[in-house]
Amino acid sequence: MSRDRVDRKNPRKGTRRAYVEYAKIGTRLSRLFKPDVQRGPMVDISRNGVQFRATAPLEVGESLYMTLQFVDIPEPVKLKAEVRWAREEKKVGIENYTHLIGAEFVEFSPHAWDLIAAAMRDG
């Protein structure tokens, strides 16, 4: 069955001009140093997670600190997520995005969800 035809409990919402900043969650010692923060455009979002483009591969099961930034919502959304799937793709755009990543939200505040819901309504 095509991915587009699957009925979803939590529908996805495509996003325009939104991006994801992310860093891998490491050990306590690694948090003392600035983590390697990456940035990629958001493809879509749902109540459970986000799909975004990346310039480097991520492994399924990796934990991430994420900041979601929406053009219409001035406050960034900070949360933790886990990589659920990753797929290599042909180069997309001039930024050399070569991977498509699906990440599930695993820890976020009610306020973060309010911001995500607002972005889904406005997007």
Q: Measuring CA to CA, how many Å separate 60 from each of 12, 34, 63, 115?
A: 20, 23, 9, 26
CA–CA dist 108, 63 (Å, integer): 13
Q: Write down the pTM of the prediction.
A: 0.79
Give the other-Cβ count within 10 Å of 73's Cβ: 17
pLDDT of residue 20: 93
Q: Quick check: helix, strand or coil at residue 8? A: coil
pLDDT, residue 97, reads 85
State the pLDDT at residue 16.
63
CATH superfamily, with its number, for domain 9-122: predicted glycosyltransferase like domains (2.40.10.220)
Residue 31 has pLDDT above 60, yes or no: no
| pLDDT for position 47 | 84
Closest C-alpha to 103, from 10, 7, 22, 9: 22
Q: What is the mean pLDDT of residues 58-77?
A: 92
Q: Compute how many other C-beta atoms are within 10 angstroms of the C-beta atom of residue 19.
A: 16
Residues 77-85, mean pLDDT to the nearest whole number: 95
